[in-house]
Amino acid sequence: MKKLLVLLAIIVSVGTTYGQEKSKESRFMVRGYGSASYISLDSADEHDSGSSFNMGTFAPIFLFKASDKLMFEAELEFEYEHGEFEIMLEYANLSYILNDYMTVRAGKFILPFGTFGERLHPSWINKLASMPLGFGHGAVSPSSGVGAEVRGAFDFKGSKINYALYATNGPKLKTDAHGAGMLEFGLTDDNNKNKAIGGRLGYLPFSDSSLELGFSFMNATVGDAHTDYEDTKANLFAYDLSYVKKINPLGGVIDIKAQYNQSTVDDRTYEIHDENDVPSDLVINDNKSTAYYAQLSYKPTMSNNDFIKNLEFVGRMSKVETPDASPETSDLESTTFGINYWLSWRSAIKVNYQLIDGIGGHGAVDDKVFTIQWVIGL
Amino acid sequence: MKAFKFIAIVGLIATVGISCSTERATAVQNKAGVQLWGENCVRCHNTPSPASFNDADWSTIEMHMKVRANLTATESQKIFEFIRSAN
């Protein structure tokens, strides 16, 4: 109840302030990004092996600057994959700049849980064609949420601090035979009265902003109301690191990104039903899931050769691990190498080779994936 | 894991101690928009040319990036003043 009152106070405060301000400028923009790719998969399971062109994704972003302080933004994602066409609302929210140090957002927004989801996931920014393991939709990483948030940044004696603090409807605990014990993110409806509380604190110690260290957290009650699971709690946290620097002796820019996510859900016994609707108990204790990635890229920006100057070399390791007792148990590792050729500052051809091995939801995984992807920021 | 946490905390405190000073704060305040433009955009994506958009569009992008990338008010103001002046 207290959380709701605080949220209400913020919304009333913003509304009152905005009502007293005359609009000075109003602009509407449609931007976005899209991609198309060719994928060749060599899998341990021969049925999965093969190659195909993918229509990829198209994600228009709508920006409406209503005044110097008020903005609306939304992103849709159109995706056609494996014969299915999907439209998803990535986010749709209002931002109001309260002062130099604080902005309030409300609506559906990408959660500042680490930096990959919020800043790096668009295909024209993501340096590889794939996401790190565990960082896609419905994985170990919270994607988006519906709620309200305050965020901002300020200088601190030559370094810089940024922050975000939010309350959202929160994730939902899956209890069915396919996903018992796992969390579902990005829902628009609330499955209980509890609101998830989360945030991120970022610290940029150096005056050139080359290094950023971040810590994120989220706490929520995740079980459906009026069920045996309604008191189930989840605690999540993440560490992230970014280091981007032009290194003269190397003749270019190196970019290091890393993030570690951990999600812990209370111990529970789940009543699940098999395909013949026969019930059984599934005990999941020590329900901890983790995902991490570390990525290094190098762009020889100081080369005198225009072709070489536009190349980028990328390497990434990632790993995801979920509890052994979970129906979606996985213990997968991935190593990916990539070469990108930048056609412009926002358009590239990516050539990737990815190795994935370990235990997936349906058994052993030993995949080799070759991808060519064309991406464009619009 | 405890040793790792201890090292991380000590490292962070040392970094804060080394990086914070009045002289550095003054140097940061005196930075030009072109320098901040070069330092901040590249943290996530390639740096766009000022000619990529018109002034009105840059005004909208300024607000979008200030919120999304958590730029400080001073950074945002200086970067986009530079972009408009160079456009």
Scanning every residue of chain B, which has its alpha carbon at the shortest distance from the alpha carbon of A160? B72
Instruction: Please determine, for residue A5, whether its predicted confidence score (pLDDT) is greater than 50.
Output: no
C-alpha distances (whole Å) from A325 to each of A182, A281, A286 are 11, 11, 9
Q: What ipTM was reported for this prediction?
A: 0.85
Sort out which chain B residues have CB atoms less than 8 A from A207's CB and list them: 19, 24, 27-28
Of all residues in chain B, the one with the smallest CA distance to A105 is: B67
In chain B, the residue whose alpha carbon lies closest to the alpha carbon of A163 is B70
- State mean pLDDT over B38-56: 94
Separation of alpha carbons A357 and A362, rounded Å: 13
- Chain A residues within 8 A of B15 when measuring between CB atoms: 205
Say if the Cβ atoms of A157 and B68 lie within 8 Å.
no
Contact B66 A342 (CB under 8 A): no
Confidence of residue B23 (pLDDT cuts 50, 70, 90): confident
Q: What is the rounded CA–CA span in Å between residue A70 and residue A19?
A: 11
pLDDT (0 to 100) of residue A374: 96
Domains of chain A, residue spans: 2-377
Q: Mean per-residue pLDDT for A311-333?
A: 92
CB pair distance less than 8 Å for B60 and A213: no
Q: In chain B, what are the domains?
A: 28-87 (1.10.760)
Any A CB within 8 A of B56 CB: yes
CB spacing of B39 vs A208 below 8 angstroms = yes
Mutate to test the interface with B, among A61, A65, A68 (most CBs of B within 10 A): A65
Give the per-residue pLDDT at A2: 52
Query: Which of B25, B40, B70 lies nearest to residue A158, judging by beta carbons?
Result: B25
Per-residue exposure over B15-49, b if at least 16 CB sit within 10 Å of its own CB, e if not: beeebeeeebbeebeeeebbebbebbbbbbbbebe
Assigned superfamily of A2-377: Porin (2.40.160.10)
Angle at A41 between CA A35 and CA A43, to 5 degrees: 145
Average pLDDT over residues A99-123: 96
DSSP B51: G
Q: Is A282 on the interface with B (CB under 8 A)?
A: no
Mean pLDDT, all residues of chain A: 90
- DSSP class of residue A249 equals G
The mean per-residue pLDDT over the stretch A297-317 comes to 97
Chain segment A6-55, per-residue pLDDT in tens? 544 554 454 445 444 444 556 899 999 999 999 999 988 777 888 888 87
Residue of B nearest to A103 (CA): B67
Distance between CA atoms of A45 and A368, rounded to whole angstroms?
11
Distance from CA of B20 to the nearest CA of A (A): 5
Two tokens at B51?
């000619």
Angle between helices B73-86 and B55-68 (to 10 degrees): 160
pLDDT score at A84: 79
